[in-house]
Structure 1
Amino acid sequence: MRITLHEVSKGRAGQALPSMSLEFHSGAVRFALAETEQRPTVLGLIASGRMKPDTGRVTIDDTANPKELRRRIALVDAPDVSDPHPDITLAGVVGEELMFAGVGATPLHARRWLTQLGYNELASTPIGNIDPAARVRILCELAVLRDGVDGVVLVAPDRHGGSPDGWWRIAGEFADRGYAMLVIIGGSAAVALERMQEFEAINASGPVQPLVLEAPADADADADAEPADEDAEPELSAAEPAEAAASGPWVAEAVEAPEPDPLEEEAEALREAQGPASSIEASDTDTDTDTTENGAAR
């Protein structure tokens, strides 16, 4: 099923709804932007065949058939048209929708239906206090209970607050079940959804590969070498001085000194026995004898 809006508008000079064209079809979800208080509801009524546009036309499978469009498209939560009163309990809303669907509509049937959906604890809660995502799921599940419904036009779920990813994910689940889904939202929610879709597109492209820098050739050679043993003693080259070897913490014992020469020891003993040497040498000095010009001793 494919629903197409061809340049539809409503009101004088498009005041109620400016001219727009869009399309939604079975098995997919898309959103349409409509600002101001009335335009989301007007667009929802036109897209579901419940209001005739002033310009343009709406077709279902390329045929203009408003009756068929109304039967197959459910209008969900449109303000002032199909939204439940906020003070009605959730069980009361469910009972009324079950009646429209032609199934058991007693309070007991309503509670059983909510139990099957996992919301039994909310049966007595006013629907105006229900979480936005839970509200969308419950109302959409009730809408598709009606015979012949193949699509949903969900109007302004963003007006209830909450994160857009909640009700958008639920709309996507209904699309996966084969329904045609159109979600009419405002500008802020549209921006949030576009960012979400961009993020999902990035994630769909696969994980980001880390950047690996190529190491130099000598670094690769060092990486291939066996790791050194931290407890092993470092080797010293022959060019390194012996003092460096002795100072290292890895030296187990001191370096042995050379053995003394016996001749050198004997010479040292003789020098010590003679005492200190005379300050006047016995060799050729001019102070021992002095002569006069005639050779006589003075």
Structure 2
Amino acid sequence: MLVTLEEASKGRDGAALPPLSARYRTGSATLVAAETERRPAVLALIASGRMRPDAGAVRIDGAVDNALLRRRVAVIDAPEVNDPVGEVPLSAVVAEELMFAGRPSHPLATSRMLATLQASEWGKHAIADVPPRVRIHVLTELAVLRKGVQGLVLTAPDRHGGDPLAWWQIAQKLASRGLAVLVVCGTAAQSVIDADALAQELAATGDFEDNALDREQP
């Protein structure tokens, strides 16, 4: 599956979302930056077929088909769209997501799922108090359980704090399982991830060590 945004924008003069081109595909995690309070959610909705752009186009495998895109792509934790209410216990969030996935959602099933996701200790905590890594891991894994889901749009995970590399690693692992993953975040988090990727590339090619030796020369 390949989803392509072609100069997609929303609002007068692109106020809600300036023209943006991007793509995400099966087996890959893609990072796109969107600043301001509401642009991440707007972008997530457009990229998943839940909102039509005012200009430009969004295509799935070359065709404009919002209904198919909605069935194939789940939106994760979009602010003021489908993010869980902060005071709700994690166990209640899990139960609701199991129900959406058409699975048993009674207390025993919920408890088992929390254990499977290694989040049992946080079950009684309000989701607003759950560590960002745990929150994102739980919400993404539950979304994957929904019938027909082949892609995920993780929305503004950086707003919860923590290390951006933690949720980026989650996104990459999901992609390695054959999912198409789009992560919408701020430019600061993107810079951290880009810097880490560059460091890994330099280390893999030996340039990092060579540059370090050069700096040590008198």
**Shorter chain as normaliser: what TM range?**
over 0.9
CA distance in 2, matches of 1:153, 1:115: 25
- Give the % identical residues: 47
Distance in structure 2 (CA, Å) of the matches to 1:203 and 1:140: 31
SS of equivalent residue, structure 2 residue 139: helix
Whether 1:116 aligns to 2:116 is yes
Is there any run of 5+ residues in structure 2 with no aligned partner, and where?
Answer: 214-218
Quick one: distance in 2 between partners of 1:203 and 1:135? 31
1:252-267 to structure 2, matched below 5 A, reads: none
Residue matched to 1:208? 209
The secondary structure found in structure 2 opposite 1:125 is coil
| Matching residue of 2:95 | 95
Which AA in structure 2 matches 1:145?
Answer: L
| Higher-RCO chain (CA-CA 8 Å, sequence separation at least 6) | 2
> RMSD between aligned alpha carbons?
1.3
Amino acid at match of 2:46: I
Aligned length: 211
Deviation larger for 16-25 or 194-203: 194-203
Cα drift, residue 208 of structure 1: 3.4
TM-score, with length taken from structure 2: 0.94
Corresponding position: 1:77 with 2:72: no
Higher share in helix: 2
Aligned to 1:145: 145
Q: What's the CA shift string for 1:191-233, capped at 9, x where partnerless?
A: 111111111111222483797xxxxxxxxxxxxxxxxxxxxxx
Matched, 1:185 2:185: yes
Hey, what's the Cα distance between the residues in 1 that align with 2:85 and 2:69?
A: 26
Which residue matches 1:18? 18
State whether residues 92 and 107 of structure 1, in contact with CA within 8 Å, keep that contact through their aligned partners in structure 2.
Answer: no
Cα distance in 1 for residues equivalent to 2:22 and 2:131: 30
More strand by share: 2
In the alignment, is the contact (CA less than 8 A) between 1:164 and 1:193 conserved in 2? Answer: yes
Quote the Cα distance in structure 1 between the aligned partners of 2:28 and 2:110.
Answer: 30
In structure 1, give the amino acid aligned to 2:209.
V
SS at match of 1:208: helix
Partner Cα separation in structure 1 for residue 168 and residue 39 of structure 2:
20
Q: What's the counterpart of residue 41 of structure 1?
A: 41
Q: 1:178 Cα deviation (Å)?
A: 0.6
Report the Cα offset of residue 117 of structure 1: 1.5
Structure 1: 5+ residue stretches without partners: 212-298
